[in-house]
């Protein structure tokens, strides 16, 4: 049976649509890698973290690249939790609560955080304190990271998880052969429809994630100017 008969036989244009969806996934993943590295750079420079920047591996599969970014996202979450733990350990309960009080002036929160960092590092800049307060107070960033981790795991386990990210340059039929090799033929139609749904959710979550990171990095750039 021809590939065009196997994959959406009533709509041959779906072959092109499938390739387009896959390219959209790669584009979103690439942007997420870049945004994540921007946040990693801020954490390393201003908070003394030692997180290794990441890059997409063209020789690896979609699943393997999902695992790369999931790992560093987990590490970022760990660092934010560590900051919170340091604040809780070294501050009086009243001062610690102020860090999460939305009515408390941000300058006051930054001063409190700077006091803690001075104890930990011997000295601390207002930029470091500002980054810490932004991360601790950003439920938006925390939620988007958690959401994106879950979606990346789903995509890694989906129909295209086992497909190499380099197949886009191979041509339509080769791409379809690669995808067909990743799943049982009888499951392909259901899997592709599921993939369309995952991609829509992933793109929406990616945009929120990138905006949340931009809020932090743009504040840092304004501070150092």
Please report whether residue 53 resides in a domain.
Answer: no
Query: Based on the structure, what is the number of domains in the chain?
Result: 1
Please report whether residue 147 resides in a domain.
Answer: yes
CA 166 to chain centre: 21
Please report whether residue 13 resides in a domain.
Answer: no
Task: Report whether 76 contacts 39 (CB < 8 A).
Answer: yes
Please give the residue range of the domain that contains residue 139: 18-46+58-222
At 116-162, the pLDDT tens digits run: 888 877 766 788 888 888 888 777 677 788 888 888 888 777 666 66
Statement: residue 16 has pLDDT above 70: no
Please report whether residue 122 resides in a domain.
Answer: yes
Please report whether residue 85 resides in a domain.
Answer: yes
C-alpha dihedral over 59, 62, 66, 68, to 10 degrees? -10
Please report whether residue 52 resides in a domain.
Answer: no
Please report whether residue 135 resides in a domain.
Answer: yes
Statement: residue 32 has pLDDT above 60: yes
**Pair of tokens at residue 6:** 């196997």
CA torsion sign for 107, 80, 72, 183 is: negative
Q: For the ranges 16-20, 53-57, 96-100, 118-122, which has the lowest average pLDDT?
A: 16-20
């Amino acid at each position: 049976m021809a590939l065009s008969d196997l994959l959406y036989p009533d709509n041959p244009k779906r072959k092109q649509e499938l390739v387009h969806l896959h390219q959209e996934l790669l584009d979103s993943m690439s942007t997420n890698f870049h945004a994540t590295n921007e946040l990693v750079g801020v954490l390393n420079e201003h908070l003394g973290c030692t997180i290794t920047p990441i890059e997409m591996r063209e020789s690896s599969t979609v699943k393997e690249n999902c695992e790369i970014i999931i790992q560093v996202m987990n590490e970022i979450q760990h660092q934010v939790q560590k900051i919170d733990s340091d604040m809780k350990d070294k501050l009086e309960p009243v001062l610690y609560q102020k860090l999460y009080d939305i009515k408390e002036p941000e300058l006051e929160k930054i001063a409190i955080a700077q006091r803690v960092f001075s104890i930990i590092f011997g000295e601390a800049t207002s930029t470091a304190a500002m980054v810490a307060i932004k991360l601790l107070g950003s439920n938006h960033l925390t939620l988007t990271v958690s959401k994106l981790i879950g979606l990346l795991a789903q995509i890694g386990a989906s129909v295209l998880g086992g497909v190499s990210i380099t197949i886009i340059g191979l041509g339509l039929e080769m791409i379809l052969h690669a995808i067909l090799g990743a799943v049982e033929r009888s499951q392909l139609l259901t899997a592709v429809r599921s993939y369309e749904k995952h991609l829509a959710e992933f793109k929406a979550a990616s945009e929120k994630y990138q905006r949340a990171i931009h809020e932090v990095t743009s504040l840092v750039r304004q501070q150092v100017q």
